């Protein structure tokens, strides 16, 4: 069956105490509502509808790349009211799956189990048994075990409050029945709202089959109302990702101290020390070792490379068997060939560094095309910015650059050249030439030192 998927994201979220919409708060580096939309997008033959209300402009702007139908719920009056706003857009011969923008960890596999049971005369309900069901709507069944209704906490009798099977809010209903049920909803309840859950009793009355599906765990259907719950789901997601990484051959020295805020792919025999953060799309080759307190974003790391502690790598490509850090920073556009070395307190930006080349310490290499087997001494900088434009420094193979050298771009250093320590190079250096550019030293006798006033 074709599907309409409705994501409810109109709530105010006042307990978040935030200047922006609750559903835009992030779990695992991604806004909660975007996580739900991403999962929903994996289901085939589906049309997305996003219901927005409070700060809806923010939500709409953040989610526009999903091409969802935006439906406004001004003055919201419950989940049933939200679905009634979407009703004119629903496909006549399909089914509607209702999801929530603040329930970010729902899995596509669980939703697929629901859709597999969908028929024109079947309503599929996602339920779960909780040790403490307080606050949830209770699943009421008859003597034969068939679902007959959902009773909200505030409307439940003492015997109904003892029920531990609860409604997650996620349901899949056939549109040929749903349109009639939505039109028949009333707000005659303790909250004065239109409950979507009232359609369960209508389905039972109309002889529609009501079947239930259970999620793999409670975190999958846990919602967020405040920052404490947000933090709990963050930890749950990180725990799940850590398990996945270890099952795929990575060693995490402390699985509770890793943060994956994007997509991390690892080869075999990868070792990751504590407090490392991964953002965007990061790929680690076989045998990569990452020291503690590193931050990697949108980068590819080749096999057997070692990244030492407190290193930052952003939008860069690193070859095989490289040695990086500690306290190194690879900025966007950096490309390291195999066996290159970037040492402590070295920063690179938009730099191609050839095979076996070394920038060992205390240097800045930006807008540079560097060949193989180059040795860069401590304190070397490429002066790539003239205040308006950036310029390129070109260093050929087998060049030796002495300590405390300034290479004023644009400049070319030919193969096998040597730059003397303390030089400021502004002109081309030829093959195997020695270049030195120092002011003449002058010594003055009996020079009076300044004294503190």
Catalytic positions: 361
- DSSP 8-state class, residue 226: S
189 annotated binding-site participant? no
How is residue 11 written in tokens? 């709530």
How is residue 150 written in tokens? 């959902």
167 annotated binding-site participant? yes
DSSP per-residue codes, 3-24: EEEEEEE----GGG--SS-GGG
73 annotated binding-site participant? yes
234 annotated binding-site participant? no
9 annotated binding-site participant? yes
Q: 291 preceded by cis ω (within 30°)? A: no
| Bridge partners (DSSP) listed for residue 259 | 277
DSSP per-residue codes, 156-184: --HHHHT--EEEEEEEEEEHHHHHHHHHH
152 annotated binding-site participant? yes
100 annotated binding-site participant? yes
10 annotated binding-site participant? yes
Residue 396: enclosing H or E segment and its boundaries? none
439 annotated binding-site participant? no
List CB contacts of 154: < 8 A, sequence separation 6 or more: 189, 190, 191
302 annotated binding-site participant? no
- Rounded to whole angstroms, the Cα distance separating 136 from 297 reads 39
385 annotated binding-site participant? yes
340 annotated binding-site participant? no
Question: 263 by DSSP, 3-state: which?
Answer: strand
Q: Which among 263, 252, 264, 261 has a CA at the least distance from the CA of 234?
A: 261
- DSSP 8-state class, residue 192: -
Distance of alpha carbon 249 from its chain centroid, rounded?
Answer: 22
286 annotated binding-site participant? no
Would you give the end-to-end CA distance of the chain in angstroms?
87
- For residues 144 and 97, the answer to whether their CB atoms sit within 8 Å is no
8 annotated binding-site participant? yes
331 annotated binding-site participant? yes
* Binding site, annotated residues for UDP-N-acetyl-alpha-D-glucosamine: 8-11, 22, 73, 78-79, 100-102, 137, 152, 167, 225, 331, 349, 364, 375
Binding site, residues? Answer: 8-11, 22, 73, 78-79, 100-102, 137, 152, 167, 225, 331, 349, 364, 375, 378, 384-385, 403, 421, 438
Residues at the binding site for acetyl-CoA are 378, 384-385, 403, 421, 438
| Annotation: binding site for Mg(2+) | 102, 225
């Amino acid at each position: 069956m074709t599907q309409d998927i409705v994501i409810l994201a109109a709530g105010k979220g006042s307990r978040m105490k935030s200047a922006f919409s609750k559903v835009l708060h992030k779990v695992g580096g991604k806004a909660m509502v975007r996580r739900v939309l991403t999962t929903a997008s994996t289901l085939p033959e589906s049309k997305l509808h996003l219901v927005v209300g409070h700060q809806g402009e923010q939500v709409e702007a953040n989610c526009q790349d999903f091409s969802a139908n935006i439906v406004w719920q001004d003055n919201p009056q419950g989940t049933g009211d939200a679905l009634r706003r979407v009703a004119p857009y629903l496909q006549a011969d399909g089914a509607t799956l209702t999801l929530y923008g603040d329930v970010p960890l729902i899995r596509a596999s669980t939703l697929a189990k629901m859709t597999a049971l969908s028929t024109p005369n079947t309503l599929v309900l996602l339920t779960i048994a909780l040790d403490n069901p307080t606050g949830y709507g209770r699943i009421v069944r008859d003597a034969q075990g068939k679902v007959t209704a959902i009773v909200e906490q505030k409307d439940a009798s003492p015997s109904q409050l003892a029920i531990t099977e609860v409604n997650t809010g996620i349901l899949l209903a056939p549109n040929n029945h749903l349109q009639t049920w939505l039109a028949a909803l009333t707000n005659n309840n303790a909250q004065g709202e239109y409950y979507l859950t009232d359609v369960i009793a209508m389905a039972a009355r109309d002889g529609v089959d009501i079947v239930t599906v259970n999620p793999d765990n409670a975190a999958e259907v846990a919602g967020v109302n405040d920052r404490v719950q947000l933090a709990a789901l963050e930890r749950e997601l990180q725990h799940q990702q850590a398990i996945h990484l270890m099952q795929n051959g990575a060693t995490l020295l402390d699985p509770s101290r890793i943060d994956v805020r994007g997509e991390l792919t690892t080869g075999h025999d990868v070792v990751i020390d504590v407090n490392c953060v991964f953002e965007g799309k990061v790929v680690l080759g076989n045998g990569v070792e990452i020291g503690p307190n590193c931050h990697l974003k949108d980068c590819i790391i080749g096999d057997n490379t070692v990244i030492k502690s407190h290193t930052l790598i952003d939008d860069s490509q690193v070859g095989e068997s490289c040695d990086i850090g500690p306290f190194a920073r690879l900025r966007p556009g950096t490309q390291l060939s195999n066996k290159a070395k970037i040492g402590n307190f070295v920063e690179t930006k938009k730099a191609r560094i050839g095979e076996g080349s070394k920038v060992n310490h205390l240097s800045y290499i930006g807008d540079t095309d560097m060949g193989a087997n180059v040795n860069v001494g401590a304190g070397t900088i490429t002066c790539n910015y003239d205040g308006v434009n950036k310029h390129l420094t070109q260093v050929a193979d087998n060049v030796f650059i002495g300590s405390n050298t300034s290479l004023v771009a644009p400049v070319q250093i030919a193969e096998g050249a040597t730059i003397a320590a303390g030089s400021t190079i502004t002109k081309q250096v030829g093959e195997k030439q020695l270049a030195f550019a120092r002011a003449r030293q002058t010594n003055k006798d009996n020079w009076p030192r300044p004294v503190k006033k």
